[in-house]
């Protein structure tokens, strides 16, 4: 049996709908002065595409600035993300782009731009004539070099040893002094971005993912960052997590100079790995403020020992305490006495979950510790706290006197019991007259509560205990109800 195929002659006559641009589908408003200035700025193809992409992501949505990632730029321009990063940083250095954190936008103050063409003194015709003359004077090999990366035209071969940086020492030493112990990031991409941004702001030229011929297994690799100083000197930077990797050393040895920046590792001091310096980005790995790293380690161990002794724990990692004992760019170092105060406060006041005390990692949260310390100091100085310690035993005896059916064995009334802290919270509150609570006042509270309608049919309310009443959300409600019923009884309403 044969198959029959039908010819569709109508398909030949069909035409696809043309894709026609229309203002009704959206448009981007750009000042003519910006367009004129960009045409005269002498930008490379990659730089020009970055400008257009940023225009589209900012002015296209009526924004002055916005976060535009390298991946977004790659999807818009079809240029590799590393080249997008390089071109974007060049434009930031030229002050054509302005940057605030991870946001980027156009610098509308054209007079601040630092480009090769002086727009204020040269007309467009003069600029073209001069550019054409210079082009004719160049040799043919230079004309044939069409690689779109003008930083490499100004930079010497990275494999040639450097002659020294602009401070009388090598570029590598300059970069180490800038970066060592200045960053505290858990994520690699955030550290990469921050390192690159800091160097660009200081006027260095940065190129991400610089290609080298070997990464240690015969395959081509990439150095995380290649930094140039505008004088022909260059230095590679590999950013590793805990310690220097073998392949990082292999890649850096193919350059004229370089070093490894460790993100999280404990580096007591700078050391060399097969001739390549290894330094730490984390502040706790650098000596500063007149205190050595050995002293920081000693104090961190003391804090951990104090924590283990007061909680009966056997924790071994003192790194959380080291983080707080080391200064950063935004704060001074905390003292050992600060850590001990917070530990005492946590153990005495924090509620335990599943009968477990908070661990050092929970106590040493960098973004919360300042608040912890403030509360701990108030607690230690008894600011806002009843000047008399909570008399637990006496108060439990009063409760047992008025509610013998729900009497509490004092041996079971320990700080591990949630209601223990709740009773202290009630004791540290004030009366309606603004006075600190006293034993006689608590006697009245328990008496009125035991006489309230809540305790009617107590034998059928197994859940009705002191623990239940002291719950913060119930204490005020229960006590106010008891007072209201007492007042009504006195007036003969009930």
Helices (H) and strands (E) in the chain, counts: 21, 9
Question: What percent of the chain is modeled with pLDDT above 70?
Answer: 80
**pLDDT (average), residues 244-260:** 90
Q: Which two tokens stand for residue 59?
A: 């002015």
Element (H, E) at 206: strand 205-212
More confident residue, 326 or 457: 457
Provide DSSP, 62-130: T-SEEE--HHHHHHHH---HHHHHHHHHHHHHTTSEEEETTEEEE---GGG---SS-TTT--HHHHHHH
CB contact burial 378-417 (16+ within 10 A = b; e otherwise)? ebeeeeebbeeebebeebbebbbebbeebebeeeebeeee
Interatomic CA distance for residues 327 and 220, integer angstroms: 39
| Number of CB atoms found within 10 A of residue 185's CB | 16
**C-alpha angle 458-462-465 in degrees, rounded to nearest 5:** 85
More confident residue, 118 or 63: 63
Each residue's pLDDT tens digit, 372-382: 999 888 878 77
User: Mean pLDDT, the chain, as a whole number?
Assistant: 80
Q: Report the DSSP beta bridge partners of residue 212.
A: 221
Q: What is the 3 state secondary structure string of 247-260?
A: HHHHHHCCCCCEEE
The whole-number pLDDT of residue 15 equals: 56
188-197, 259-268, 459-468, 481-490: least confident range: 259-268
Each residue's pLDDT tens digit, 180-193: 888 877 677 888 88
| Cα Rg of the chain (Å, integer) | 35
Element (H, E) at 273: strand 271-273
| pTM for this entry | 0.37
The whole-number pLDDT of residue 322 equals: 81
The whole-number pLDDT of residue 142 equals: 39
pLDDT exceeds 50 at position 256: yes
Q: Which residues contact 380 (CB under 8 A, 6 or more apart)?
A: 341, 344, 345
pLDDT exceeds 60 at position 206: yes
4 pLDDT band (50/70/90 cuts)? Answer: low
The structural domains of the chain, ordered by start, are 26-112 (1.10.10.10), 171-285 (3.40.1350), 293-381 (no CATH), 392-490 (no CATH)
80 pLDDT band (50/70/90 cuts)? Answer: confident
* Phi and psi at residue 287, to the nearest 5°: -80, 135
In contact, 67 and 94? CB cutoff 8 Å: no
Each residue's pLDDT tens digit, 420-478: 888 988 898 888 888 888 999 999 999 999 999 999 888 889 999 999 999 888 898 89
pLDDT exceeds 80 at position 50: yes
């Amino acid at each position: 049996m044969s198959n029959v195929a039908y010819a569709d002659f109508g398909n030949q006559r069909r035409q696809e709908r043309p894709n026609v641009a229309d203002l009704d589908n959206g448009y981007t408003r750009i000042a003519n002065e910006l367009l004129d200035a960009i045409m005269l700025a002498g930008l490379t193809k990659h730089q020009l595409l970055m400008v257009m992409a940023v225009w589209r992501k900012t002015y296209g949505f009526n924004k002055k600035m916005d976060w535009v990632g390298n991946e977004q730029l790659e999807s818009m321009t079809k240029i590799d993300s590393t080249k997008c990063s390089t071109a974007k940083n060049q434009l930031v250095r030229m002050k054509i782009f302005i940057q605030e954190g991870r946001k980027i936008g156009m610098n509308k103050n054209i007079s601040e731009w630092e480009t090769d063409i002086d727009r204020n003194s040269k007309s467009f015709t003069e600029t073209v004539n001069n550019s054409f003359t210079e082009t004719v004077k160049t040799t043919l090999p230079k004309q044939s070099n069409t690689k779109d990366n003008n930083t490499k035209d100004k930079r010497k071969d990275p494999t040639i040893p450097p002659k020294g940086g602009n401070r009388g020492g090598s570029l590598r030493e300059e970069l180490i002094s800038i970066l060592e112990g200045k960053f505290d990031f858990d994520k690699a991409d955030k550290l990469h971005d921050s390192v690159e941004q800091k160097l660009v702001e200081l006027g260095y030229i940065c190129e991400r993912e610089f290609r080298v011929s070997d990464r240690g297994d015969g395959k081509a690799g990439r150095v995380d960052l290649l930094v140039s100083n505008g004088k022909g000197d260059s230095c590679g930077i590999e950013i590793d997590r805990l310690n220097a990797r073998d392949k990082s050393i292999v890649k850096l040895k193919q350059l004229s100079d370089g070093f490894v920046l460790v993100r999280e590792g404990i580096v007591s001091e700078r050391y060399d790995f097969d001739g390549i310096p290894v330094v730490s980005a984390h502040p706790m790995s650098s000596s500063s403020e007149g205190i050595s790293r050995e002293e920081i380690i000693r104090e961190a161990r003391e804090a951990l020992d104090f924590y283990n002794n007061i909680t009966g724990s056997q924790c071994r990692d003192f790194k959380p305490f080291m983080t707080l004992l080391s200064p950063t760019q935004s704060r001074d170092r905390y003292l050992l006495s600060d850590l001990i105060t917070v530990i005492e406060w946590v153990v005495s006041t924090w509620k335990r979950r599943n009968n477990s005390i908070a661990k050092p990692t929970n106590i040493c949260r960098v973004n919360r510790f300042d608040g912890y310390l403030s509360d701990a100091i108030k607690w230690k100085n008894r600011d806002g706290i009843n000047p008399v310690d909570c008399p637990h035993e006496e108060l439990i005896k009063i409760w047992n006197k008025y509610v013998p059916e729900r009497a509490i064995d004092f041996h079971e009334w320990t700080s591990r019991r949630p209601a223990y802290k709740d009773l202290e919270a009630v004791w540290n509150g004030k009366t309606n007259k603004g006075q600190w609570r006293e034993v006689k006042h608590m006697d009245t509270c328990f008496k009125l509560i035991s006489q309230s309608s809540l305790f009617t049919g107590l034998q059928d309310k197994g859940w009705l205990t002191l623990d239940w009443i002291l719950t913060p959300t119930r204490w005020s409600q229960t006590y106010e109800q008891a007072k209201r019923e007492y007042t009504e009884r006195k007036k003969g309403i009930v």
